[in-house]
Amino acid sequence: MSEITDELLTRFLRYINMPSQSKAGTGTVPSTSSQWNMARLLEAELELLDLEDLHLSDHCVLTGYLPASLPAGFSGKVPKLGFCCHLDTVDVNLNPAVHPHLVKAYPGGDVVLNAEKHLIMQAADHPELAAHMGEDIVFTDGTSVLGADNKAALANVMTLLHTLATHPEIHHGDIYIAFVPDEEVGLQGSKSLELDRFPVDFAYTIDSCEVGEVVYETFNAGSATITIQGVSAHPMNAKGRLVNPTLLAVDFASFFDRKETPECTEGKEGYIWIKTIHSNASQAVIQLAIRDHSKTGYEAKKDAIRQNVQRLQQQEPRATISCSLEDIYGNIADAMTPGNRKAVDFLYEALDELGIAPRTIAMRGGTDGSFLSTRGIFTPNYFTGGLNFHSPYECLPVPSLEKSYNVSLKIVEKVAKEAGV
């Protein structure tokens, strides 16, 4: 095992052994206290690397930068490069504590995750493992996610910073970091990032799956809340008086095309997802998610929701119906311009030079970069190397993590070279 491989693995195992799940619906950023522990650990490590302007905000956003290391007499301008990673791991009702185990030189076949609980990862159900025979792979014990999403990225960037800080012969411009909480619960951490502390020309997130994956197209995402105030009445004299909000909610749901839902769409097909309906005798509240890669399609879906609200109101004028729409994040590609397109070019050039075949994906989701891009920081994404995110079958082939790190280092070198260093 090389020195870099060992450092990457050591950092990764250290980070995943510190629980930092986020939790939806708390109304606070960060949503959990455990994310503070993760941020403070990283802050202490960054202090040892002599990063400047280190700052841990009231919302648990950790920022700072590694100053440029350039040849004496160099008078050119090297773009300021940023890396954004999230501190939290997803809460999918599994154990928040991670108990990883390393399978060396994976021989193929089934993997016993937890002998005591009889938890086995069946090779027949996970054909992705076959491509990693002979490699060291980190697995869970079957009771939690692994946390490669996004602690593989944290290990990647922290190892990169250590490499640059200890090898002054590797020339680079200013390297900024933003480690943010609560990505898994609506990108709340990146929305709390003070942009003047992340003054980069472009940035990258490292928050995707298999080796070679590149994402610079994501959904446009929004949410809608429909509130239906009915009229309650006792059944003995309800005729002509009762306005049942539950039935009106069902009517509203029926207005939408059943083929434009998550379970019936793929690729770049958008959808409207009726996520929840909560109702009682007097009120119903409907929560919807709106997704589309096309900005035009996204706006059309919002218009469809408004029109269906009007239709329901006309159907039952005695009810009081309101609609609240919120934009959550945008498509990274919509922020790409001739001036910042180079960020994507650097990524593909790095993959080419490293002999890694690109796997370009229009993500049916979003990253912190989806929000940062709407704020003027173009932020494409590339792979961590992890597999089966958000699952007890999540695993991380160690060579894949090293390939992700190699891409990070190559991008840094290419940005400096392009500037004439």
What CA–CA distance (Å, rounded) separates 262 from 270?
8
CA distance 14 to 41: 10
Residue matched to tokens 């075949």? 357
To the query of whether residue 149 is one of the catalytic residues in this protein, the response is no
CA 324, CA 285: separation in Å to the nearest integer?
11
Active-site annotation holds for 326: no
Q: Is the peptide bond before 30 cis (omega within 30 degrees of 0)?
A: yes
User: Do the strands 81-86 and 202-206 form a parallel or antiparallel pair, or are they unpaired?
Assistant: parallel
CB 176 within 8 A of CB 82: yes
Phi and psi angles of residue 226, each rounded to the nearest 5 degrees, phi first: -110, 125
Selected catalytic residue, list 7, 183, 217, 292: 183
Whether the CB-CB separation of 324 and 228 falls below 8 Å is answered with no
Instruction: Dump the DSSP string for 332-350.
Output: GGGG--TTTTHHHHHHHHH
Beta bridge partners of 409: none
Please pick, among 7, 88, 217, 413, the residue that the annotation labels catalytic.
88
Question: Is the Cβ–Cβ distance between 238 and 326 less than 8 Å?
Answer: no
Place of tokens 């399609």: 297
Alpha-carbon distance of 371 to 58, in angstroms, equals 20
CB atoms within 10 A of CB 305: 21
* 3-class state of residue 416 by DSSP: helix
Q: How many CA atoms lie within 13 A of 179 on its CB side?
A: 31
Kindly report the length of the chain.
Answer: 421
Q: Which of the residues are catalytic?
A: 88, 183
